[in-house]
Amino acid sequence: MLPFTRINRNIRSLKRYRQVLGILIQYGFGHIVEQLNIDYYLELGKRIVSLGTASRDLERLSQAQRMRLVLEELGPTFIKLGQLLSTRPDIVPADYLEELKKLQDRVPTVDTEKILAQVHLELGRPVEELFSHFETTPLATASIAQVHRGTLKSGEQVVFKIRRPKIEDVIETDIDILMGLAYLMDKHIPGGDMYDPIGLVKEFRRSITRELDFSREGRTIDRFSINFADDDTVRIPKVYWEFSGRTVLTLEYLSGIKISQTEALQQAGYNLKKIARTGATVFLKQVFEHGFFHADPHPGNLYILPNNVICIFDFGMVGRLDEDLKLQLTELLLSILRRDVDHIISQLLYSGELVDESNLKSLKRDLSEFIDDYYDILLQDLKVGKLLIDFIEILTEYRIKFPSNMLLLSRALIAMEGIGRQLDPEFNMVEHLQPFTEQIVRKRYSPASLSKELTRTVQAYQSLSKSLPKDIKEFINRVNRNKFKIDLEHRGLERLITDLDKSSNRISFSLVIAALIIGSSLIMQTDKGPILFGFPILGLFGYTVAGILGFGLAIAILRSGRM
């Protein structure tokens, strides 16, 4: 990403900047806009928007509620950003997390002709030639896509997920704006670097770019289908690749009952306790066996088919856990359940997440209190997802970074536990976790695993022994040739430099004004040149210019709030 001052400044981008900043101010976040010095960086001769306050109705809402409304009003990109932030309890306060989970798409239905044109453009032929039926009324409308039902020529019932036309251009512009704002946050807002806003926007850009390519989601669905090919308790929709591409995804239509509709499930004769157990097992298999899990298992994405079969939809958000992360998760969970604080800290040290600045004594005290709080809770009442979230909040206080996939997992665990308890009040996730964690530990300390790790360690030391003499020789040569350099990075000085630059500009401006006043006063004493009302015109002109410049300088100082 280029620095903020190099961002494409076409008319569309500038209009969008004005809209974004205007909505922020409308909802009472003008102080943030002021801190960002946005008008200075856009190099405009006036402020983009006039700073004001939120209306009285909005003032009654909390900041978290107003931020949710801001994201909803700004549209698809910002809604998706809010949904991503709702998975980050390490950087987002609890009240904001609850509000961000309520984010809803407020988008109108796309005109039918445009949808049909999008399908034609992607698949190369008109809809009427490809399918025997295409339902023009959408089943669902979201920020990125619309879903329609249809029938193939072969008679198979399908659903079409079709990307909204031109949504890619909108998202590209918005991500440029977000990157620019992240750059300014990192530079001007105190403590902004702690949250790594630039890294967060880069992560978001990667996530939403992948989501825009429906062929990626299709391959993800195929991977889940392979993982559960031998499991009769799960059903994954089939992808019709001959009718799919980057902007269109055609899937098998499966009719069932939403997993949250417990009364309908009971009336249909389904076994709710069995469904709860099956759902937990299916999810934990994804995590501990496949290392590839559905990261958004809310009730709208889970349906029940005959014989208590669980059908999973919408694979736009998935998480991944490699062997090291699976082992780290297992060790942390077991350590918490065993009240072993020392082992938790040793795991953090081993993983490299615990930095030197962390206060180990205070961290150990807080972890001990955290474990004591959960110790008196009955096992059947223990919520694993909530436990992980609280654990992450403690680590956040000590600026210990947690892998993003672990955060996705925590959110998904909370959703699955909630669904399980809704189906069966006696549902206990810990009971389902234990067999998987025990299996991971057994596998970790099996002869085959230990042998593999020993081989990997030997290979690493072998590579090090080969490169070390060369590196030492290169280091000594650089020192001998006086070419050894150490790069130092000054952090936190950018704002000071900017403020000094502004101050020196104001002083220079004041000197110019003073010179104009003194020069005009001298001219007034000469009585030479053109005369107006008995005074030299050149002197009057000098006074006028000095007055205008002085008035402008005074307004700028007052609006900055720094007298």
pLDDT at 4 (0 to 100): 46
At residue 153, does pLDDT exceed 90? yes
pLDDT at 46 (0 to 100): 42
Spell out a b/e string for 95-134, using b for 16 or more CB atoms within 10 Å of the CB, else e: ebbebbbebeeebeebeeeebbebbbebbeeebeebbeeb
What is residue 3's three-state secondary structure? coil
pLDDT at 425 (0 to 100): 87
Least confident of 122-126, 487-491, 529-533: 487-491
Mean pLDDT of 211-218: 92
Q: Write the DSSP assignment of 157-187 as a string of letters.
A: EEEEEEEPTTHHHHHHHHHHHHHHHHHHHHH
Q: Angle between the 429-444 and 384-397 helix axes, to the nearest 10 degrees? A: 70
At residue 353, does pLDDT exceed 80? no
223/236 Cα distance (integer angstroms): 10
What residues contact residue 309 under an 8 Å CB cut-off, 6+ apart?
232, 233, 234, 235
Asked if 303 contacts 259 with a C-beta cutoff of 8 angstroms, the reply is yes
Q: Which helix (H) or strand (E) holds 234?
A: strand 234-235
Asked if 334 contacts 437 with a C-beta cutoff of 8 angstroms, the reply is yes
413/295 Cα distance (integer angstroms): 9
What tens digit of pLDDT does each residue of 66-120 get?
A: 888 888 888 888 888 887 787 777 677 778 888 887 776 667 888 999 999 999 9
* 456, two tokens: 């990997």
What is residue 34's three-state secondary structure? helix
At residue 267, does pLDDT exceed 80? yes
| Selected residue with higher pLDDT from 60 and 254 | 254
Q: Angle between the 167-188 and 76-85 helix axes, to the nearest 10 degrees? A: 50
At residue 143, does pLDDT exceed 50? yes
Mean pLDDT of 515-542: 73
450/455 Cα distance (integer angstroms): 9
DSSP summary character for residue 284: H
Mean pLDDT of 464-488: 76
At residue 203, does pLDDT exceed 60? yes
What residues contact residue 187 under an 8 Å CB cut-off, 6+ apart?
494, 495
246/317 Cα distance (integer angstroms): 16
pTM for the model stands at 0.72
Greatest mean pLDDT among 15-29, 336-350, 496-510 lies in 15-29
Asked if 427 contacts 316 with a C-beta cutoff of 8 angstroms, the reply is no
What is residue 536's three-state secondary structure? strand
45/528 Cα distance (integer angstroms): 37
49/295 Cα distance (integer angstroms): 39
Taking all residues of the chain, what is their mean pLDDT, rounded to a whole number?
A: 80
* Residue 278 confidence class, pLDDT cut points 50, 70, 90: very high
Q: In the 3-class helix/strand/coil scheme, how is 430-476 assigned residue by residue? A: HHHHHHHHHHHHHHHCCHHHHHHHHHHHHHHHHHHHHHHHHHHHHHH
Mean pLDDT of 1-29: 66
What is the Rg, in whole angstroms, of the alpha carbon atoms belonging to the chain? 31
What tens digit of pLDDT does each residue of 298-349 get?
A: 888 899 999 999 999 889 888 888 887 887 778 777 777 677 777 777 777 6
| Selected residue with higher pLDDT from 375 and 243 | 243
At residue 253, does pLDDT exceed 70? yes
Asked if 25 contacts 49 with a C-beta cutoff of 8 angstroms, the reply is yes
* Residue 1 confidence class, pLDDT cut points 50, 70, 90: very low
User: Could you tell me the residue ranges of all domains in the chain?
Assistant: 4-107+169-210, 260-444, 446-485, 494-560
What tens digit of pLDDT does each residue of 169-201 get?
A: 888 888 888 888 888 777 777 655 566 788 888
* Residue 160 confidence class, pLDDT cut points 50, 70, 90: very high
pLDDT at 493 (0 to 100): 59
Place of tokens 């280029």: 2
What residues contact residue 465 under an 8 Å CB cut-off, 6+ apart?
none
* Residue 231 confidence class, pLDDT cut points 50, 70, 90: very high
Residue 526: how many CB atoms within 10 A of its CB? Answer: 10
Mean pLDDT of 238-266: 94
| Selected residue with higher pLDDT from 206 and 553 | 206
pLDDT at 43 (0 to 100): 44
| Selected residue with higher pLDDT from 533 and 45 | 533
**Neighbouring-strand partners of residue 131:** 152
pLDDT at 509 (0 to 100): 72
Q: Give burial (CB, 10 Å; 0-12/13-18/19+) of 388.
A: buried
Mean pLDDT of 5-31: 69
pLDDT at 463 (0 to 100): 81
CA distances in angstroms from 136 to 115, 159, 298, 356, listed in the order given: 9, 12, 27, 60
| Count of CA atoms in the C-beta half-sphere (13 A) of 92 | 24
pLDDT at 492 (0 to 100): 56
* 49, two tokens: 């928007």
* Residue 246 confidence class, pLDDT cut points 50, 70, 90: very high
Mean pLDDT of 416-438: 85
At residue 207, does pLDDT exceed 70? yes
528/539 Cα distance (integer angstroms): 10
At residue 40, does pLDDT exceed 70? no
At residue 285, does pLDDT exceed 90? yes
| Selected residue with higher pLDDT from 248 and 25 | 248
What residues contact residue 505 under an 8 Å CB cut-off, 6+ apart?
none
* Residue 121 confidence class, pLDDT cut points 50, 70, 90: very high
pLDDT at 311 (0 to 100): 95
* 118, two tokens: 């999008």
